Amino acid sequence: MERLLYFKALASMHKQGVVHGHGKPGNFLFTFKVNKGYLIDLYLEKYLQEAWPIIKCALEEHGIVCELNLVEGSMTVSTTRKTRDPYNIVKARDLLKLLS
């Protein structure tokens, strides 16, 4: 039932000229109480593309390298030889959690 509603929602959006960048079941919320589904995360990809250069620059100042992969839908962070405080990677990871 949820899958059918998910595909109907995507088809309806495409008819209106809106393309969901990450059309996947994880971006579909369904409530049985009212038998209704919602597509979420419509503009996150566009927001991340615009904000990523700022995020990348800010993390590089702390010796952290970050990568945005829109095809896989992933964001990664890693340390470099310039990383002075090892706790910075934990903070960077938490930043990505907030962005996702």
Question: What CATH number should be reported for the domain holding residue 68?
Answer: 3.30.1370.10
Distances (CA, A) of 85 to 17, 66, 67: 47, 16, 20
Say how many domains are in the chain: 2
Say whether both 26 and 48 belong to one domain.
Answer: no
Helix (H, G, I), strand (E, B) or coil at 18: coil
Say whether both 33 and 48 belong to one domain.
Answer: no
Say whether both 23 and 65 belong to one domain.
Answer: no
Say whether both 78 and 56 belong to one domain.
Answer: yes
**Structural domain boundaries, residue 35:** 2-39
One pLDDT digit (tens) per residue for the chain, 100 residues: 556 666 676 677 667 766 656 566 666 666 666 666 666 666 677 788 888 999 999 999 999 999 988 777 788 999 999 998 989 999 999 988 888 7
Q: What are phi and psi of 5, to 5 degrees?
A: -65, -35
